[in-house]
Structure 1
Amino acid sequence: MTRVEKVKYLKIDRGRYYYQRRVPDKFQELLGFKKWQIPCGDVDYPKAVQLIVTWSEEHDELLAKLRTQDGYDEIEAANIRLGRKTWERHYSSDGASQMVVHNDSVVPIHELQKPWEVALEEMKSLDLERANETAPSHEVMQIKAKIARAKNEGTIAGNFRLPPYPELLELAKLYKDEPDIAQFEFDADLPRPMSDERYRDCLTLIYDRYFPPSSIPPDDPDDRDEYVFVKRRLERKVASVTVDPNNISTVLGRYCDFNSIRSGTKSKYRRELARLIAITGDVPISHVRTEDLRQLRDELIGNIQPASIQAIFTPIKGIFSFAFDEDIIRANPMIGVKLPKDKRPIEERKWKPFEPLEFSRILEAAQREWGESTRGLTDARREAIHMVVRVLAFSGMRPIEVIRLKPDDVNDKLVRINGSKTESSTRVVPLHPEIKDFPTWLAGGGLDTFQSINTDKVGSVRHNFSRLLREKMAQPITDPQKALYSLRSTFVNAMRRAGADIQVQRAILGHKEAGAIRHYDDGPEFDVKRRWIEATDPRQV
């Protein structure tokens, strides 16, 4: 008989070749078997050796992966997904009701009176398992049942090798004097903690089982509240361990990038979306329901004006419309949300202009308040607030347009405004003689003081201007419809009094109807704008 060279993991039984290899103890539970035993088939010895070497290398690689935390977690999660598919194949075939384990029995889910309660039980059990502080209750019960049965039958329950959970250590103490009934051995460490990926997959399995797309909330109000509570709790838990490319904040970021929204406006949109996230959590955007949006609306009604509610919902409507157009969601939940309308007459909603006398008093008060060092403001911030107010007073610009200006945007002839509120807001405005010192001041870094503000960069100017009107002036201006933005309408009125036609006014303000004239920075069209700018003085009646 020819002597066969010994090859590791190669076994020969009655002339046939097998790959046989033991799985390390710590990986047996995860993989679900104790050893690999694979027949090589009807092959000769060289071919069998080739197969054995190939399988050996593959399993060496697998075991090396299992010895790392990330690798173990990845394979554990893959096993859960495989088990989930097996469950669905056996218990969720077409036309069959899905089966669930409840009270130690496998029952159709449609026979559960309140399936969301079972979902809550499974979720709590999963959280205990994830905490890894106590032994799973079912494991303790199984051991106690084996011991009780052994006592009754006069047999031996066996040897138990267990993780060192407090409950199991206590159980071992209880039977330490009865070695003929049960003996206990304990591992050195507790089991590996549950990975986020496994936790997420288990939560998702619970969610899909008890809250499928066909799930309908119960009619009874109390049952409906419980149903919604459990469903939302599951969604939040899933979101907490999911790096979802389509959660609310991520979709907001994509929406802002797609529309080239500036950082300041982005910050404002995040604050508005935070109101919704406070209700739903930062869940995948497809989980947000019409009811959630209505809840946000109802919380705002009565506390702020309808116009402010509309403003809060502007980015919310935007991201859901974007998500729908990009096929991120199948239906837009905002369609079912009706927002309150502002029924105030237009006169009560728009900012009122300052009268010429008021305007003159404001300039005097601004010089008195911000012309020299004042308590509570650094010199740089004080000078910047003063200059911004002066520029607004003699240009008709929006506050944010001034704050965003760079030195290259301004010279001794004009101010070039780019990327403002709308496309039509991009324009060239001749420099008013009253602010001829603005270009030099801006070139010296005058607006840099606002760069340290990460949220509303106009807020500091708005706040201090309001204090000037209401508190600092000898005769305060208390009309709530007169504020920082009133300087723009004040300049419009001054242009009209000076005789500027509507096209020139619109070109200077950046209104769409002005056509190409708003862009000219030279030639007769620019001269037309310059003449009317120089003729405009809000102090004159």
Structure 2
Amino acid sequence: MRKIKSLSGRLLHSSATQGGEMAKDQRLFKRAGKWTFRVRVPADIQDKIGKREVWKSLGDISHAEARRLARVESVKVDALFAEARAPASGLSLAQISEADLHHLACAYLHRLEVGAAAMPLDDFERRERAEEASEKIMLVGQSVDEASLQLVATDIAEDARLDLTGKPAALSKLTELVQRALIEHYSREADRASLAPECVYDPLFAGVTRASPPPVSRLTLARAVELYKAEPDRAGVSPKTRAAYEFRFAMLLELLGPEKVVDKITRADVREVRDLLMKLPPNATKRFPDAPLRQVAEIAGKNDLQTMSPKSVGLYVEALSALFRWLVKEELAARNPAVGLKSPALPLEADRRPFTAHELNVLFAAPAFSAATERGWMYWLPRIGLFSGARFAELLGLMAADVIEMDGVMMLRIEANAIRGVKTRTSRRVVPIHPELVRLGLLEHARSVPADGLLFPDAAGPKDMVTARNKKMGAAIRKMIADESVVFHSFRHTFKDAAQRADLPRDVIAALGGWDVPGGRVAMDGYGRAKLAAKLAAEIGKVQFDGVVL
């Protein structure tokens, strides 16, 4: 640091010997015989600072003393402004290394340099700026306000998610590094003011300039996932969704490496992980609990095991992309390497073909789907699916209270609840109960179950009700129909085909089934609420399945 001290001495000597009338001091004002320190907070950080101006009364003192105090306050304010512009780096809490602290100091200097005002100055103003910078060097170098430096260091650590409580050595080291960063900044300010070639005075900060990119974050993937899961906005996520994310992130951490720095994860890394996932069998960690995932992929390839579905692989890619979207938003990462990365091609929905009339008769006559089920969920879901086009989870999660009357029409209300979500914005809808379902006794069934419970209470029981019941439904369908292109979702296709045969308008079909409408419109936008229920009821009544015995 001797070079810095000699620089400050040279600048002080230069300012003292050049003489001349002093210009009005920046940030220092006199009113009614009293000096005041005032500085406007830059617009981009006013929300973080909580005010538009920093103001402090210095009292009835001499001009020289007022200037000295103003320089002390300027050091504090400059540090405060740089602090407010600091993105959180989210370093690991497990171990605070000296390299971590060096990174914080370099990032802090970079913010100071970027925030330094660049404006044309005349000779007199340059001398004034050089003198101010040299005095700030002395103030910081002599630790005029050590408590303020420590406060800045503490704030920097907190923004970086570093807990220095009970770590006096780390706090002391970071305080020293903050001091060095400030001295380096003011030394460069002095050079700029005196038109001298800009130098690096402290080797720690070599390569840190206003023109250089911010120092690369040292945030690890494991820590990034921790921060993402702890985000308050995710507190309301359902246990099922949280468990799914936990599982996916555990596999992604293994494949990418938990200690890999997020800003060093490339698109090639993400593409490699996606390709590896495509080689893994379903439930890989359960089937091969002791084997690394890369080894499991090799085993699956050698033994020609069935691999994960493209849809499942896409969920992993989306989970990683969601993590990086949040990191970029929080300024914890510079970019999202997974953005726009295509998931494996999904099978065309047309591969899940509609039922034929013969297949429907076979299903409805089978004991698993007939009245022999005592008209429980296995009886009702296929029939409602056939006459509404609703998805399996939408129907299984219906509550008794979702059977509603709207303008004299009995409807099923489909919206998110504790059991199921809705797939898209257009999935949230009301669907008139088809006359055939009324004839079969659906309204009487709704009145027979507790009003505050499930519409099909016999489906309750398993922890993951939708998954468990979907497997049972799928197995029952497969027992009767061997063709694997026929699944419960085929009821949705069957309804859509029947609606098209009945010449229902396109937006009516979209409104009934919750399909998207091109152009971002909401289906049935042209109908008022008073007409909506009657219009939908009239149209759905046209949907018929000739030759099908219910």
TM-score (norm 1): 0.48
Q: Which has more radius of gyration?
A: 1
Report 1 or 2 for greater relative contact order, CA contacts < 8 Å, sequence distance ≥ 6: 2
